[in-house]
Amino acid sequence: MKALLSEIFVWWQGQTWGTRLYLKRFFKYVGSDEFGNRYYEDKKRDRRWVTYNGYADASSIPPGWHGWMHHRTDTPPSAEHYNARPWEKPAQPNLTGTAAAYRPDGSLLNKGERPRVTGDYDAWSPE
């Protein structure tokens, strides 16, 4: 029963029934990526849509699909043999708000002390 209610109302863990019906009516399925995200294109070819596998996190879109989603290319990676360029890094999740987030020296959430100011900076004072 909980899973049924979750599918009806909870949009951040995938698609709801309303989203599923909307996509079936107005969009066509284009492909999916290695994370299980599913990509759609409007039948009028002016809008593109993604449904995430799990929590909605835009950082989980791989570089090839990111380019297609932002209209940088008209051909989706599923329609052609897509090879990532050597300078492209694999997609990584956004770690903001987690224990693994980056915390530089001087951060309130990091142990340690902020580095002392060197001679290249003078603090502003109103006088």
Model confidence pLDDT, tens digit, residues 53-106: 877 888 888 888 988 899 988 888 888 777 778 888 877 788 888 888 888 877
Residue 121 lies in a domain: no
Q: Provide the domain limits for residue 53.
A: 1-115
Residue 126 lies in a domain: no
User: Across residues 32-42, what is the average pLDDT?
Assistant: 91
Write out pLDDT tens, residues 40-56: 999 887 899 998 887 78
Residue 58 lies in a domain: yes
User: Comparing 35 with 8, which gets the higher pLDDT?
Assistant: 35
Number of domains in the chain: 1
Residue 120 lies in a domain: no
For the chain, the residue count is: 127
With residues binned 3-state (H G I as helix, E B as strand, rest as coil), the percentages for the chain, rounded to 5, are: 20, 10, 65
The reported pTM is 0.67
